[in-house]
Structure 1
């Protein structure tokens, strides 16, 4: 992978985190292809090849439904997120340009009038494809390290 393409990959990861940190939920599905996969799974299940995931979406339409749920139907105490994402590690590039990459992440959560806490830590295992609109996630598996997550997971990671 040349420097320009690696820069574009890094920008995809950075723009993704920035959109989530800004609570720009409507932008979130646009980081994915139409027939994408987004899964959030505990590390233990991933390592044992168990299929159970905390969240599992199989299309961009399902991601848009989640955005609708965040905006219109889910009631919770508001909080802010801040993502810290490591530089992506490119594992492989297929002949068709599909990039297999991973990145470690940490998400901090700040509730109004409270101190910030570590919310979620893990890694993403991604398949990224070139499109006319730039690089997009075809598949994003978020593997979080802890078996425990606070009460509910509202926002995407």
Structure 2
């Protein structure tokens, strides 16, 4: 693996932290801004990923599709409101290229319904490709591979 400049490592870790902060705060209009225009965002069970099966719980292939999901969250999806809180491990650099990093990070998402206690909602790892853009670092690919095949009820908000 190639060495990485400290400034790039810091920017990558800040990208992960800022992403979790925005999603946990429900700042949905900001969520697509973490991605390139031709991004890939997938939420997939571990078994499907490891077997090479394409079936995913959520699969978006552009920033426009992410913006459409934001519209759905705000305007068309009806559900019991809840909060979510991400706990994200430090990313591991799996491969580096000029202005492109392939990273993996473990995550746990806790969900709190307004009149209930917090529960573990989703646990897994992200497989990410991060690229340098004129606007800063962005996710070109974000694959959220969750460990359990069981999803409580439904997934409304991004992981």
Shorter-chain TM-score: what band?
over 0.9
TM-score (norm 1): 0.98
Report what 1:12 is aligned to: 15
Alignment partners' CA distance in 1, 2:10 and 2:115: 37
Give the alignment of 1:28-67 within 5 angstroms: 28-67=31-70
Report what 1:152 is aligned to: 154
CA shift, 1:97, in A, is 1.7
Secondary structure in 2 matching 1:123:
strand
Report what 2:96 is aligned to: 93
Secondary structure in 1 matching 2:151:
coil
CA shift, 1:42, in A, is 0.1
Q: Does 1:3 align with 2:6?
A: yes
Alignment partners' CA distance in 1, 2:95 and 2:50: 20
Alignment partners' CA distance in 1, 2:9 and 2:41: 22
| 5+ residue gaps, structure 1 | none
1:134 to 136, 148, 151: 136
Structure 1 segments of 4+ aligned residues over 4 angstroms from their partners: none
